[in-house]
Amino acid sequence: MNVIVNEEKTELADGATVADLVEHLTGEVAEAGVAVAVEGRVVFRSAWQETTLEDGARVDVLTAVQGG
């Protein structure tokens, strides 16, 4: 299936969850510094494993960056 992540098309396996997406993007299920919204609604980290994505879903993934 395809989802739109930060305005870019990303291919994932059917039935992929938010946790699967974060792992796909970062190489791990990040413990901190990552926020996800699906269709404009924030998905709390505690719900990542059970939040299944649908084909065509619009997802925003934000990561915190240190710096000055």
CATH number of the CATH domain containing 20:
3.10.20.30
Question: In terms of residue numbers, what domain contains 24?
Answer: 2-63
Q: Count how many domains the chain has.
A: 1
| pLDDT value for 64 | 83
In this predicted model, what pLDDT tens digit does every residue of 27-54 receive, in sequence order? 877 768 899 999 999 999 999 999 999 9
What does the alpha-carbon distance between residue 51 and residue 68 come to, in Å, rounded to a whole number? Answer: 34
Within 10 angstroms of residue 62's Cβ, the number of other Cβ atoms is 11
> For residue 52, what is the DSSP state?
B
Asked if the structure places residue 55 within a domain, the reply is yes
The verdict on residue 68 lying in a domain is no
pTM of the model: 0.89
